[in-house]
Every structure is written in structure tokens, then in C-alpha cells.
Amino acid sequence: MFELPIEVKALLAFLVTQGIKALLGLFGADLAGKWAAVVAALVAAVLVFAEGLLASPEVQDIIVKVLTLLAGILGAFGIHKTYAAIRG
């Protein structure tokens, strides 16, 4: 069975959460406080669900490509937001 290392899961959860927050920030929505925790929990749940789907060899390639694309796009937003917060 395919399983991502815990470090990769944590990094993906953080970057995707930050990406979602940055993306929604473009539309004027603020994900602060408890909503940030809710989004992080949902992202973690999606990662666990997707990892369960990866057990099937028939769909493994498609799911890996979709997750890579999604993580890349949302991760880019997350990196930008984190870098902007560090820079001040």
C-alpha cells in the first residue's frame, strides 16, 4: 500500500491550507481563527482519503497527478502568503 511519509503529509497540509487561505483572501474572505483550523482539518482529511484511494493500482497514476497539480497550485499560494508574512 502506498503511504506518504508524515513529514510530507504535514508539509502538504500546511502549504495547501495556506494556499486556500491566500486564494480566498483574493475574494475578500478571511480565514482566521477557528476557520483556519477547520480548513486545515479538511485538508488533512482529504489527504487521508486520497491516500486510501492510492491503494488501488488502477487509479493510482491519475490520483497522483491530480494531487500533484492541486498541491502545486495551492502550495504556490501558500508559499507566497508565508513569504509575504515573513517579509512583513
pLDDT digits (tens, 9 = 90+) for 6-19: 777 777 777 777 77
pLDDT digits (tens, 9 = 90+) for 22-49: 778 888 877 777 777 777 778 878 877 7
Residues in CB range of 21: below 8 A, 6 or more apart = 31, 36, 39, 78, 81
Pair 60, 4: CB distance under 8 Å: no
